[in-house]
Amino acid sequence: MHKYEYRGVIFDLDGVLTDTAHYHYLAWKRLAESVGAIFDEAFNEQLKGVDRMGSLNLILAASGKDFSEADKLTLADEKNLHYQSLIAQLSPADLLPGAAPSLQLIRAAGLKTALASVSKNAQAVIERLGIADQFDVVVDAAKIKNSKPDPEIFLTAAAGLGLTADVCFGVEDSIAGIRAIKSANMFALGIGSPAVLTEADVVIAGLHQFSLQDYLK
**In this structure, how many other beta carbons lie within 10 angstroms of the beta carbon of residue 110?**
10
Q: Catalytic annotation on 66? A: no
192: phi > 0 → left, psi -120 to 50 → alpha, else beta; which? left
Task: Give dist(CA 201, CA 189) in Å, integer.
Answer: 6
Q: Give the SS3 label for residue 11.
A: strand
Contact partners, residue 187, CB within 8 Å, separation at least 6: 6, 169, 170, 181, 201
Which among 80, 83, 72 is positioned nearest to 26, based on CA atoms? 83
Give yes or no for a cis peptide into 97 (omega within 30° of 0): no
Q: Catalytic annotation on 14? A: yes
User: Which is the catalytic residue, given 12, 51, 140, 173?
Assistant: 12
From first CA to last CA, the distance across the chain in angstroms is 13
CA dihedral 58, 64, 66, 69 (to 10 degrees): 10
Annotated catalytic sites, by residue?
12, 14
